[in-house]
Amino acid sequence: MEILIYSSVGCTYCDKIKELMKRADKQYTEVIWQKLSGDEQEDLQMKYKIHGFPFVLIDGEPVGGLVETAKLFLEKGLVSSRKK
């Protein structure tokens, strides 16, 4: 499973998705939006219609943000909704 996370500086939801990845014991690559060139941002915006951060791709397919990724991980049994 190849996970790519587009994040933004100072984004609390981006911090939470990294916690989710840790809970699921999943490796990921993080790309900080502000470090991309304007052209790269524009290309990604047009391709994926990014509306906010974090924005997650799994195996090249757009998943969405924190909530969508957490739901997917729950469905796949990668994390539990139980609190420890």
DSSP state for residue 53 in the 8-state scheme:
S
Domain spanning 3-75, CATH class: alpha beta
pLDDT in tens, 32-54: 999 999 999 999 999 999 989 99
pLDDT in tens, 56-74: 999 999 999 999 999 999 9
| Rounded-to-integer distance, Cα 25 and Cα 41, Å | 29
Say what the pLDDT of residue 80 is. Answer: 86
Burial of 11 (0-12, 13-18, 19+ CB in 10 A): middle
pLDDT in tens, 4-36: 999 999 999 999 999 999 999 999 999 999 999
- Strand partners for 31: 6
* pTM score, whole prediction: 0.92
Q: Quick check: 82 pLDDT over 70? A: yes
